[in-house]
Structure 1
Amino acid sequence: MYITITAQKLGGDYSQSSVDFVAYLEKENQGLEQDDVEHFFNQYGDEIKAKEVVKEIDGNTAKLKKKEPKFYSITINPSQSELRNLQYNSEDLKRYTRALMTDYAKSFNREINGKPITVDNIKYFAKIEHQRKFKGTDRQVRENQPFATKILQLKQAIRKIEQGQLEGDTKQMKSDILKLEADAPHQQNGKRIVQGMKKEGNQSHIHIIVSRKDTSNSVSLSPGSKYKASEVMMNGKLVKRGFDRDAFFTKAEGTFDKTFGYKRNYVESYKSKKDFVKNPKLYFTTLLGLPASEKAVAFKMLSKSGVPMASIPTSQVQLALKTIRYLKRGVEVAIKSSSIGI
């Protein structure tokens, strides 16, 4: 599970409307039959139209300044392993989203009218998408890049030869291009993986747009608050503030596992990410101490994420700091992937 929370991003000043973001979330519906369309939904409603989402989010921004975000985006990216555990893909993801947003509300260290925040105080709309495209930062695209560069150079040379600006054997160059295409390490359906190519397999994920203000349009709720959980005196009153992201990520993972009976491996857990960041030696020691069957699954997950498995120590003695430093870069990339991170 990989979950991100980001503030509305639109340059210097924040846009006064969510219309562009909502339109972006509608991209997969273009050209689909009505029965195949994925609608927006929230805690209690389904089949919510895009224009209603824009109206609700844009109309809930009282007293927010131009340089303050009007909404936040939460993206939930289940791994392939997690998705395989679902019976009814879209309906199960809707059910999980509603449970997740209950966890989201509980992660605020705030009160409204003397009562803890609940999901009824949160104005949000969610959308399920089923496609993903390879990005330039994806490992497959990066590792194919040297081949892409040589192919581009050859194509440019061929064009110059055909225009009479250069001399050379275009037939041989075209043959070289075909060989480079085939030799690129990462292929999908017989084609070299490039930026913008659709990823195969189940790529279902969830986008959530959540208003910065509560449902009454009177209280500002920021999941990006730098205050984890604290109290401060404001106008002579002791006020709670903050959003506990750590608690939210932990709850999100636990809710998925409980809801769908998912048996989570150590390397795909939120705890493993924290162990890796704070104490790499503990991370690798725990990994090596897993039961044989769990360790085999863990190594398989790491291998798919691009970690150099041949270099992972096989005993506690080999677990030297030098080895950890060498592996750290590979695991850092893997732990950010949707297969093993939150």
Structure 2
Amino acid sequence: MYITITPQKLTATFSQSVSDFVNYLEKENQDLEVDDMEHFFNQYEDEISKDQVIKEIDENTSKLKKVEPKYYSITVNPSKYELSRLQNSSEDLKTYTKALMEDYVKSFNRELNGKPINIDDIKYFAKIEHQRTFKGTDHQIKENQPYATKILELKQDVRKVQRGELDGNLSKMKSEIAKLEKEAPHQQNGKRIVQGMNKAGNQSHIHIIVSRKDASNSISLSPGSKYKASEVMMNGKLVKRGFDRDAFFLKAEKTFDTTFQYKRNYAESYQSKKDYIKNPKFYFSTLLGLPKSEKAFAFKILAKSGVHIPTIPTNKVQLALKVLNRLKRGVDIAIKSGSIGI
């Protein structure tokens, strides 16, 4: 499970309105029949129009300054192992989204009219998507890049030869291009993986737009708050503040596991990422201490995430620092590229 919480982009090139983002999320509906489209939904309604989403988010911005985000984007990317537990990606992920947003409101250390924030106090709209593309941060793109660079250089030379600007053997150059295309380490359906290519398999994921202001448009609810859980005096009144991301991520994972009876491996757990960041040696020691079948699956997960797995000693005491550092570099890259963890 990989979850991100991102504030609205407010640079000069981005609109103050949510319209551009909403229109972007409609991209998969192009050329589809109405019955095949994925619509926006919230806790109580399905098939919400994009116009309604734009109107409700844009109008729910009372007293917010231009430099303050008007909404946050939450993206939930289940792994292929998690997706394999679903019977119907669209309907199951809608069910999960509604449970997830219950976890979201419980992670606020805020009160409204003397009561903890609840699901009716927020304004959000969500949408399920079924396609994902390879990005420049993916390890497949990075590891294919040397081949991509050589192929581009050769193609440029081919055009120069065709224009008479360079002497060369076109047949030989084209053969070299074909050879490089096949030699690239990461292929999909017989083609070199390139940036922007759709990823194969079940790629279902969730996009959630949640208003910065509560549903009554009176108080600000920021999941980007630097405060985890605290109290502060405002206008002579003690006010609770903060959003506990750590608690939210833990709840989100537990809710998925409970909802779909998913047995989570240590290597794909939020706890393992926390262990890795705080104490890498403990993280790898824990991996090596897993039961045989769980350990094999853990390293399979890491390998699929782009981590190069060297030969691992069977005795934990024999775990050489050099091997640990090689693994650490691989996990660092996988986490940064969004391949592991929440």
TM-score by length of 2: 0.97
Residue of structure 1 equivalent to 2:111: 111
Structure 1 residue matching 2:317: 3-state secondary structure:
coil
TM-fit CA distance, 1:10: 3.2
Could you give the per-residue CA deviations for residues 204-239 of structure 1, whole angstroms, max 9, x where no partner exists? 000000000000000100000000111111111111
Kindly indicate whether residue 63 of structure 2 is the aligned counterpart of residue 55 of structure 1: no
Q: Distance in 1 between matches of 2:20 and 2:161?
A: 44
TM-fit CA distance, 1:320: 4.2
Distance 1:238 1:113, change over 3 A: same
Structure 2 residue matching 1:317: 3-state secondary structure:
helix
Q: Distance in 1 between matches of 2:183 and 2:34?
A: 42
Distance 1:162 1:14, change over 3 A: closer
Q: Distance in 1 between matches of 2:134 and 2:67?
A: 32
TM-fit CA distance, 1:337: 5.6
Q: Distance in 2 between matches of 1:135 and 1:303?
A: 18
Residue of structure 2 equivalent to 1:40: 40
TM-fit CA distance, 1:336: 4.8
Is residue 128–residue 204 contact of structure 2 (8 Å, CA) maintained in 1? yes
Structure 2 residue matching 1:103: 3-state secondary structure:
helix
**Amino acid of the structure 1 residue aligned with 2:186:** H
Residue of structure 2 equivalent to 1:160: 160
Q: Distance in 1 between matches of 2:14 and 2:192?
A: 39
Residue of structure 2 equivalent to 1:196: 196
Q: Distance in 2 between matches of 1:338 and 1:80?
A: 14
Is residue 10–residue 16 contact of structure 2 (8 Å, CA) maintained in 1? no
Residue of structure 1 equivalent to 2:331: 331
Is residue 72–residue 211 contact of structure 2 (8 Å, CA) maintained in 1? yes
Residue of structure 2 equivalent to 1:136: 136
Paired-residue identity, %: 74
Structure 2 residue matching 1:150: 3-state secondary structure:
helix
Q: Distance in 1 between matches of 2:13 and 2:140?
A: 35
The more displaced of 232-241 and 41-50 is: 232-241
**Amino acid of the structure 1 residue aligned with 2:156:** Q
TM-fit CA distance, 1:18: 0.8
Q: Distance in 1 between matches of 2:338 and 2:256?
A: 14
Residue of structure 1 equivalent to 2:93: 93
Distance 1:337 1:291, change over 3 A: farther
Residue of structure 2 equivalent to 1:151: 151
Question: Which aligned segments of 4 or more residues in structure 1 are displaced greater than 6 angstroms?
Answer: none
Is residue 311–residue 327 contact of structure 1 (8 Å, CA) maintained in 2? no
Structure 1 residue matching 2:222: 3-state secondary structure:
coil
Residue of structure 2 equivalent to 1:241: 241
Q: Distance in 2 between matches of 1:149 and 1:91?
A: 42
Is residue 78–residue 339 contact of structure 1 (8 Å, CA) maintained in 2? no
Q: Distance in 1 between matches of 2:119 and 2:2?
A: 22
Kindly indicate whether residue 206 of structure 2 is the aligned counterpart of residue 209 of structure 1: no
Residue of structure 2 equivalent to 1:71: 71
Is residue 76–residue 205 contact of structure 1 (8 Å, CA) maintained in 2? yes
Kindly indicate whether residue 200 of structure 2 is the aligned counterpart of residue 176 of structure 1: no
Is residue 125–residue 210 contact of structure 2 (8 Å, CA) maintained in 1? yes
**Amino acid of the structure 2 residue aligned with 1:263:** K
Structure 2 residue matching 1:152: 3-state secondary structure:
helix
TM-fit CA distance, 1:12: 4.6
TM-fit CA distance, 1:29: 0.4
The more displaced of 3-12 and 76-85 is: 3-12
Could you give the per-residue CA deviations for residues 45-99 of structure 1, whole angstroms, max 9, x where no partner exists? 0000000000100110000001000000000000000000001111000000000
Q: Distance in 2 between matches of 1:301 and 1:324?
A: 17
Residue of structure 2 equivalent to 1:219: 219
**Amino acid of the structure 1 residue aligned with 2:324:** I
Q: Distance in 2 between matches of 1:165 and 1:208?
A: 53
Unaligned stretches of 5+ in structure 2?
A: none
Q: Distance in 2 between matches of 1:116 and 1:208?
A: 22
Q: Distance in 2 between matches of 1:160 and 1:149?
A: 17
Distance 1:152 1:247, change over 3 A: same
Is residue 122–residue 215 contact of structure 2 (8 Å, CA) maintained in 1? yes
Residue of structure 1 equivalent to 2:270: 270
TM-score by length of 1: 0.97
